[in-house]
Amino acid sequence: MATPEPIRLLDPLFTTDAMRRVFSDQRRLQSMLDFEAALARALVEISIAPRGVIASIESQCHAELFDMESLARAAALSGNLAIPLVKALTEFVARSDAQAAAFVHWGATSQDAIDTGLVLQLREALDLLDRDLGHLSVSLAHLAAAHKYTLVAGRTWLQQGPPVTFGFKVAGWLDAVVRHRERLSRSRKQVSVLQFGGAVGTLAAAADHGLELAAALARQLELDLPELPWHSHRDRLAEIAASLGLLVGSLGKMARDISLMSQTEIDEVLEPSGTGRGDSSTMPHKRNPVSSAVILAAAFRVPALVATILTSMVQEHERGLGGWHAEWETLPEICRLTAGALSHIKDMAAGLEVHSDKMSQNLNLTGGLVLAEAVAFALRESLGKEKSHTIVEEAARRAAQDRSDFAELLLSYPEVRKHLSAADLSRLLDPSNYLGSAAEMTEKVLSARSDAKK
């Protein structure tokens, strides 16, 4: 008999309970049985089988009726799970209705049940991910709007550059989330298709009823009907894997930014606090960025798994040898890791601590050097590009070496004094005056997200 999926020690860290259930052994089995039950209904719908077979077959299509261990060990000998499952299902049905047993798995092949079962799981998995992406989008939108004018140092090559706003930085994260949500929606539509082709994809066993039966089965499962079976054409599944890989990469980028900003010396943001969250086994003062660590771990692991799926696309003739099998554990693992990373970033974004005062302090660490570009551009019209850049670069270097006042050093150059006053320099070295279109671009992202929701 089926037993509840045992929890692995690291499951709560790296995935979610909901996604763990979607890709549990029991759900894998039930999805295949859902295919078999739908096939029985489709056979009746187009008058191939008598109506009575539906109840006889459906009553046995429950995962808890099957011995998981026996199926697993039989699958090791047969090469896939569908063969022993169909055999057991047929035996169960035959006990009460020999006529109905003849219609179990009628016209189908093992891959039809396995692939369509996977599609049903993926459909549910993608709906879960979309829900969490929606929550993340809301939290990021709130953060971006609240900090549209909160100054923070822009950083390139991990060094401070001219200022941005924290809202602008968050808007970049949000914009990526919106794109991923759209991409996954398209991928969900691509993969939500029936797999039903029989032995070599021609539906020969169904004789003249093949296309009619396939259409009825697709209706029963609420899946689209492809032009032809896709047994050895795996681009739909590869698209899901690649799309999730891209998503996890963006989540990793967010986690990298947040973890860097939460370093003790920076202290611009912190992950949410809570009892036991981020504790150190030896250092009582620490508040470790646990969520960032998990998200980054997923971002390290998923690309290699995506590569496995892409490599597995090279399949032989009408049925792949090995490539198909390589998908069975790899794609669920990608989904599990994605769900875990997304859950962590969702909770982190909703409760992120933002230290705007520390952002301001860090921005002023260089004494205005990060605004050197603003001064160089102000002088460019009078002195030309090369000369203005040379003077400002030299002044910046001297100010950094001597820890001297950047504005005073600039005014020591006659060329600068001739064209800029102390008041001019004060204005140019005010970070709030050198934000370009940050606020407008942030608002564009927020508006685009609002429009997309309508």
Catalytic residue among 319, 380, 398, 427: 319
Q: Which residue in 34, 70, 379 sits closest to 223, CA to CA?
A: 34
Query: Rounded to whole angstroms, how far apart are CA atoms 85 and 63?
Result: 10
| Residue 326 · residue 312 · CB < 8 Å | yes
DSSP 8-state symbol, 270: E
Q: Report d(CA 440, CA 437) in Å as an integer.
A: 5
Confirm if 173 and 254 have CB atoms less than 8 A apart.
yes
Q: 349 and 139 in contact (C-beta within 8 Å)? A: yes
Per the document, the length of the chain is: 454
Our answer to whether residue 319 is catalytic in this structure is yes
Q: How many of the other CB atoms lie within 10 Å of CB of 253?
A: 16
Please give the full DSSP string across 115-167, using - where no structure is assigned: HHHHHHHHHHHHHHHHHHHHHHHHHHHHHHHHTTT-EEEEEETTEEEEEEEHH
The structure tokens listed for 397 are 């270097």
Q: Long-range contacts of range 80-84, CB-CB < 8 Å, 24 or more positions apart? A: 80/110, 80/111, 80/114, 80/325, 81/28, 81/29, 81/32, 81/114, 82/32, 82/110, 82/111, 82/113, 82/114, 83/110
Beta-sheet pairing, 269-270 with 353-354:
antiparallel
Using CA atoms in the order 111, 113, 114, 115, what is the torsion angle rounded to 10 degrees? 80
Separation of alpha carbons 10 and 298, rounded Å: 13
Among 232, 246, 30, smallest CA distance to 117 is for 30
**403 noted as active-site residue:** no
The residue annotated as part of the active site, out of 47, 70, 96, 280, is 280
Decide: helix, strand or coil at residue 281. coil
Q: What is the 3-state secondary structure (H, E, C) of 400-421?
A: HHHCCCHHHHHHCCHHHHHHCC
Residue 200's H or E segment, with its range, is none
CA dihedral sign of residues 103, 107, 110, 115 = negative
Residues with catalytic function: 280, 319
